[in-house]
Amino acid sequence: MPSPPTLVFIHGAWHTEECWAKVIPRLEAQNYRCTAVRLDSTRGSNTPTLVDDIAVVQAAIKEHTSQGRNVLVVGHSYGGAVASSAIQGLTKPAGENAETSDTGYVVGLILIATGFIQTGSSFGATIDGSTHEVGGVRLDFESGWAVVDDDPRNIFYNDLSVEEAAEWGAKLQKQSLAALADAHGYAGWKDVPVWYLAAKQDHIITYEYQRRSYQAAIEEGANVKVLELDGSHSLFLSLPIETTNFIQEAILSLS
């Protein structure tokens, strides 16, 4: 049996790699190798673009593939667009025998509460018209930031306690608007199997939009396995066991 793939985790807008704190330890306890990246677009500058975030993720992927390890990339929200785009050129070429290769490849994507970015598009265009009527997010083109104007619990953490939502809300970072508007996406979800985790109580990227997105991807020929959970945009915080189990299911199907 081949070794299980390494997991590379990509957070969404305004967040950091810390958001995976309830999931990664559960996977590491089962001896799965995990790497969580920090995107440049949440490091306090309004200049990083999607291209910059892609470069960060590709470097993390290559750190493992260069050592012969296959990689399964996990992306949440905006991080899903980064994940799909970053795997360009890193999947197994058609006709190549992976068992005799010294190089590892990206073998799958796990996308959580996000859209399916098209080649040459941006994340902003991908989710255009998808946001919930609660609003709370403002695109400030003058300052170059995407701004959270509402209580983060109303947007990201509506199924967490008030206390825990406040703790996570305090960890949010400034988000470069340029990253959300940069139209250098790549539809990597067409190249590998995809496991899609939909959030039925999402207040920022609606469940209805998520459902339309994965159905459209399937109609385009993508290999997508879907699980819908009755939780908020941040399923990895409110339903970490279910999220971990879904990730493990993907790992086992590839091992």
Multiple choice CATH, 6-254, 3.40.50.1820, 3.20.20.70, 3.40.30.10, 3.40.1080.10: 3.40.50.1820
Closest Cα to residue 201, out of 163, 234, 169? Answer: 234
DSSP codes joined into one string, 59-88 = HHHHHHHTTT--EEEEEETHHHHHHHHHTT
What residue ranges in the chain does DSSP mark as E strands? 6-10, 34-37, 71-76, 106-112, 137-140, 145-148, 175-176, 194-199, 224-229
Q: What average pLDDT does the structure give for the chain? A: 94
For residue range 80-124, list pLDDT tens digits in order. Answer: 999 999 999 999 987 666 566 789 999 999 999 999 999 999 998
For the chain, give every domain's residue range: 6-254
For residue range 209-231, list pLDDT tens digits in order. Answer: 999 999 999 999 999 999 999 99
The residues pairing with 37 across neighbouring beta strands, listed in sequence order, are 10
- Residue type for 62, please? K
